[in-house]
Amino acid sequence: MASPTVRRNANPFRSVATPTRTYLPLLLRRWGAWAIEVGLIAATAIVPYKLGEYAKTHFSGEMVPLNAALVTTQETIAKTLALPLSEDSRMAAPLTNLFWSGALLLPLTVAGVNLYFLSKTGKTIPKAWLNVRVVTAEGDSPGWGRVLVREGVGRWGLPLGLTYIIWRYSGAFPGLGILSGLAGIMLLAECASALGNSRRRGFHDYLAGTYVVDAGQRFPASGIWRETGTWADASRSSQGTKPQWTEEDAAIATIVLTPETHWQERQNLWLWMRQHPGLSLLSVALTGLGLVLGTFVGTQVYVQSQANLREFQQQDNQVFLALVSKLTPLSTRVPDERRSAILALGTIDDPRALPLLVDLLSQERSPVLIDAIQQAVVRKGPAVLPSLRRLNQALRNELESLQNGGIPQEQVSLTLRQRATQRAIAKIFTLYSGQLSAVDMSRVDLGQTAPGATRFTLVLDQVDLAGMQLKAAILTNARLRGSRFYGSGEDDRWGTFDDLITDLSGADLKDADLTSALLANAIMHRTSLIRATLTNANLTHARLTGANLGSAKLVGADLRQAILTDASFAGADLAGADFSQANLQAARMGQASALDAKFQFANLVQSDWKGADLSGADLSQANLQEASFASARLVGTAFNQAQLQNASFQAADLTRTDFRGANLDGADFQGATFVAIVPTSSSQFVKLAPAPTQTPFLRGVNFSKVRNLSPDQITYLCAQGAQHPKCSQ
């Protein structure tokens, strides 16, 4: 018998690093290295992300779509953290694309490099700086398997996974502040788990079988870990004597004995079968018989089910063909039978029935049969809406082509068909309210038609249309009181990833009644709302860039944080409306009535309020730089702490207007009236004179850098306690 080969270790001690003097305890250096690791990864993500945000907001130019990796990452993060995701977030400047790609790749690179060094040497870059090393029980580097378990599962995966589950299902969802706090507590608790034992091993170390030691410590070749937290040589006795092992002992110690349990189990099974041949044969026979019977029964069931299916399909096909035969142009059936056949088509479950009904609706001329087709189509539910939308658009184009000439009878027939499509769509909207979030009804014509036998008015009060696509839809004179254009989605939470938001961009809602409608977060870019009624409507966070709300009624409407850049409110009634923190940059508000409206913290840069009535309105702390209030009525208006640089107040009525704390540098007050004085005669111009009593609205206000103040205005301002260089004179 050949003797096994014994591999000797010439050096029984392996030096990992040169010992260095340290002044901080190992535990503090461990936590410091971890904090630096997290800080490096966070910095490589935050810095490029902030640079990308800066490029997006400060570098004007053509916006480009985000690359696919960023879009996927954005959607994943938004879905996981229940963050709202707007369409604007998918467009960015080219530099933003570059920086955000770096924010995605750099943290992964830094983390990958650290994990590589940790697996190969036991040290990340920060651990090497602070003289800390991760080792196994034998003093070796941990390797990839232990590193992934230690970092991916123990340190980050389990704490953050448990945090997310608690947050998601404990009622704290979707509060991100609570999630951040819980995550911090769980990570700190995981780090603090190293304080609970003498070896200073955290939960992640126990899970991966690793230890954290001083990188300058020497490890014996056959080391073991003492309970006191030091390494000892297992080959030496406690008295320091040399080991008394012989060559034969060493050879025996290196032999690996393979267990024979599996072979014995196989031998036992075969032995039992040999000892009981009758039972073995019976078991095999019963098993085979069961398999044969099972296969036979399963085959028969399958064959019978297929035969039944073919029979049902044949019966349905016969029914469908019988109904179609009654609808052919050569059929001699009376109208009542044709009507019955049409109604029956709406009840059968045949995929050919739906396109046939739509085709019949596009050709039928009889008003009675058109109504029957409409009823049959409605029974098909939302599945018929795409076909109805296409037919609606086609009929609208035909009607427009016949406006300048054509056979009157043909126009009436087309109008009846168009009204039928409109009524069918409206009925489906009503019957399937709240189930239409994925429906695209862009460019559909549901506007009010002319009075007469073919008149149609869309009435959808209290209907849930959240999530629908209604781009460029015609909804003139529609009645949508209390209707919902915004929903909470499957998670039943507002302001999360799966919110249902209706897109009404470019839609025509002239004269529509949207009283108390829920339009929060709705997309309404360049939507026409001329003369629309939006009393008490909820438009918070709605996007109405370039929308036309001329002469609209928004009494008591809620437009907080809405985006209304370049929107038009000419002649609109905004009494009591709330525009707090809204973006109204370059909005046109001429002749609007905004009595007691709220515009706190709103962005009103370059907005135009010529001839508007803002009596009692609150514009405190709003940004009104370069805004125009020419000829506006501002009685009792509050401009506290507002930014009014280069604003125009020419010929404005500023009676009891509150300018305290406002920045008026460069503002133009030519012809402005600070106090109402009744002229002594009808031919005398209105002149300013000091009021008999002082008011607090102008006290301490700095008018030193304003423009076009007349001597009478300066006299009045000085009497009210305002600041001006000529007040001392």
- Residue 729's pLDDT is 65
Query: How many C-beta atoms lie closer than 10 Å to residue 165's C-beta?
Result: 10
* Residue 473: pLDDT over 80: yes
* Average of per-residue pLDDT values in the chain: 82
Question: CA-to-CA distance for 433 and 412, rounded, in angstroms?
Answer: 31
* Residue 8: pLDDT over 70: no
- Residue 242's pLDDT is 41
* Residue 36: pLDDT over 80: yes
- Residue 233's pLDDT is 45
* Residue 229: pLDDT over 80: no
- Residue 222's pLDDT is 43
Q: Residue 533's closest CA among 552, 519, 549?
A: 552
- Residue 40's pLDDT is 92
Does residue 521 contact residue 486 with C-beta atoms inside 8 Å?
Answer: yes
- Residue 676's pLDDT is 67
* Residue 447: pLDDT over 60: yes
The residue type at 489: G
* Residue 201: pLDDT over 50: yes
Task: Read off the pLDDT of residues 336-371 as tens digits, 9 standing for 90 and up.
Answer: 788 888 888 888 888 888 888 888 888 888 888 889
Mean pLDDT of 481-497: 86
Mean pLDDT of 679-702: 63
* Residue 325: pLDDT over 80: no
Q: Provide the percentage of residues in the chain whose pLDDT is more than 70.
A: 84
Got the DSSP string for 469-515? Answer: B-TT-B-TT-B-TT-BSEE-TTTT-TTSTT-EE-B-TT-B-TT-B-T
* Residue 62: pLDDT over 80: no
How distant, in Å, are the alpha carbons of 136, 219, 624 from that of 254?
Answer: 21, 21, 86
* Residue 548: pLDDT over 90: yes
* Residue 552: pLDDT over 70: yes
- Residue 614's pLDDT is 94
Question: CA-to-CA distance for 383 and 646, rounded, in angstroms?
Answer: 57
Give the Cα-Cα-Cα angle 601, 603, 609 (nearest 5 degrees).
110
- Residue 61's pLDDT is 65
The residue type at 44: T
Helix (H) or strand (E) holding 73: helix 68-81
Give strand pairing partners of 658. Answer: 638
Mean pLDDT of 265-276: 69
Does residue 438 contact residue 467 with C-beta atoms inside 8 Å?
Answer: yes
Q: Give me 456's structure tokens.
A: 């149609």
Give strand pairing partners of 160. Answer: none
Lowest mean pLDDT among 306-320, 400-414, 462-476: 306-320
Q: Provide the percentage of residues in the chain whose pLDDT is more than 90.
A: 42
3-state secondary structure of 376: helix
- Residue 248's pLDDT is 45
State CA 689 to chain mean position distance.
57
- Residue 632's pLDDT is 94
Where residue 462 falls among pLDDT bands split at 50, 70, 90? Answer: very high
Question: CA-to-CA distance for 369 and 340, rounded, in angstroms?
Answer: 10
Task: Read off the pLDDT of residues 515-527 as tens digits, 9 standing for 90 and up.
Answer: 999 999 999 999 9
Give the Cα-Cα-Cα angle 315, 321, 325 (nearest 5 degrees).
145
Phi-psi region of 334 (alpha: psi -120 to 50; beta: other; left: phi over 0): beta
Question: CA-to-CA distance for 421 and 390, rounded, in angstroms?
Answer: 10
3-state secondary structure of 722: coil
Question: CA-to-CA distance for 713 and 237, rounded, in angstroms?
Answer: 103
Where residue 691 falls among pLDDT bands split at 50, 70, 90? Answer: very low
pTM of the model: 0.73
- Residue 218's pLDDT is 53
State CA 284 to chain mean position distance.
61
453 vs 21, more confident? 453
- Residue 310's pLDDT is 76
- Assign 3-class secondary structure to 598-643: ECCCCECCCCECCCCECCCCECCCCECCCCECCCCECCCCECCCCE
* Residue 195: pLDDT over 90: no
427 vs 317, more confident? 427
**CB pairs under 8 A, 24+ apart, for 134-137?**
134/210, 134/211, 134/212, 135/16, 135/210, 135/211, 135/212, 135/213, 135/219, 136/209, 136/210, 136/211, 137/209, 137/211, 137/224, 137/225
Mean pLDDT of 265-286: 75
561 vs 316, more confident? 561
Where residue 60 falls among pLDDT bands split at 50, 70, 90? Answer: low
Q: Residue 36's closest CA among 115, 129, 153, 143?
A: 129
Q: Give me 532's structure tokens.
A: 């629309």
- Residue 572's pLDDT is 95
How distant, in Å, are the alpha carbons of 46, 55, 455 from that of 52?
Answer: 10, 5, 54
Q: Give me 62's structure tokens.
A: 């053509």
- Residue 346's pLDDT is 84
Phi-psi region of 615 (alpha: psi -120 to 50; beta: other; left: phi over 0): beta
**Residues sharing a CB contact under 8 Å with residue 622, sequence separation 6 or more, in sequence order:** 599, 600, 601, 602, 603, 604, 639, 642, 643
What is the rounded radius of gyration, in angstroms, for the C-alpha atoms of the chain? 40
Sign of CA dihedral 670, 583, 176, 66: negative
Mean pLDDT of 140-149: 90
Mean pLDDT of 602-608: 94
3-state secondary structure of 27: helix
